[in-house]
Amino acid sequence: MTAAAAAETAQPRTERLVHAVNVTKSFHHNEVLKGIDLDVDRGQVVCLLGPSGSGKTTFLRCINQLETIDGGRIWVDGRLMGYDDRDGRLYRLKNKQIAAQRREIGMVFQRFNLFPHMTAIENVMEAPVQVKGEGKKESRVRAQALLDRVGLGDRCTAYPAQLSGGQQQRVAIARALAMQPKLMLFDEPTSALDPELVGEVLAVIRELADEGMTMIVVTHEMSFARDVADTVVFMDAGVVVEAGRPREVLGNPQHQRTKTFLTRLHSEHDHP
């Protein structure tokens, strides 16, 4: 506990919420992340862009420790994720402590991953009740409010199989918000959706951004990145190629790889 406090003093509470330094990760000798640095300030929206296989999703999963990192460090709100730093030596935290760290970070998955044996409102209530020990009545009221907020107040008793993809993803967002996270991670939240359902999900995420939620979004939706992101980060082959304001990176890319990616993306949009 004292070590955790020390880590906190080492990273004083600032405007910075996420601080990642030189993060590396390999899968079976295949280096997926080759030293990623990323800073995200409170209230900021960061979009991670890049071709598939560039390591965006893996990096996102490293932030909330769904993947363990091989090297580097990630701090969220001043806390070193997954490890205890004792005089420069890292010790892996216990699974319960890691679980506690994850409560501060909401995640939305590409394939929604709603719990199919529970109704929409039960999906939203589950973690607050089971993990935080919140009362059922109180939790139900909050879950109802969250479902209202994502426009599904009237589908509380529906099971995931009875909802459209867009509705499922909105329930998933409400479920993540129910833990009152400081940070939201979105892993290609609209990639598994039919085109006509993309808009309703992006609208919810956009609203969340307007309310000041800090979030990191892996996406292929360029117009969303341009409109909503404070920073876009372009990744390729496990490194950050360039990062900056969306207008600069998307409008006037400095690197060849970024240019190639954007041209390819545009030509796909023009000739689908």
Residue among 176, 201, 215, 232 that touches other proteins (CB under 8 A): 176
**Nearest 5°: CA angle at 218, between 24 and 113?**
100
CA distance 168 to 161: 9
CA distance 76 to 64: 9
Nearer to other proteins by Cβ, of 177 and 202: the residue is 177
Residue among 14, 52, 68, 100 that touches other proteins (CB under 8 A): 100
Could you tell me if 126 and 118 are in contact, meaning their C-beta atoms sit under 8 angstroms apart?
yes
Which positions from 189 to 218 touch other proteins by CB under 8 A, shown as an x/- string? Answer: ------------------------------
Residue among 103, 182, 220, 226 that touches other proteins (CB under 8 A): 103
175 touches other proteins (CB under 8 A): yes
Which positions from 36 to 75 touch other proteins by CB under 8 A, shown as an x/- string? Answer: ----------------------------x-x---------
Task: From 139, 120, 119, 121, select the one nearest 129 (Cα to Cα).
Answer: 139
Residue with tokens 């405007």: 15
105 touches other proteins (CB under 8 A): yes
Task: From 146, 107, 104, 110, select the one nearest 125 (Cα to Cα).
Answer: 146
Residue with tokens 């509705």: 167
Residue with tokens 């009362």: 135
Task: From 234, 165, 229, 235, select the one nearest 200 (Cα to Cα).
Answer: 165
Nearer to other proteins by Cβ, of 108 and 240: the residue is 108
102 touches other proteins (CB under 8 A): yes
CA distance 131 to 116: 19
130 touches other proteins (CB under 8 A): yes
96 touches other proteins (CB under 8 A): yes
133 touches other proteins (CB under 8 A): no
174 touches other proteins (CB under 8 A): no
Listed ranges 48-56, 111-119, 190-198, 251-259: which one lies at the site for other proteins (CB under 8 A): 111-119
Residue among 28, 29, 89, 117 that touches other proteins (CB under 8 A): 117
Residue with tokens 């939201």: 184
Nearer to other proteins by Cβ, of 165 and 244: the residue is 165
What is the H or E stretch that residue 119 is in? none
* Interacting residues with other proteins (CB under 8 A): 64, 66, 95-96, 99-100, 102-103, 105-107, 109, 111, 113-117, 126-127, 130-131, 161, 172, 175-176, 179
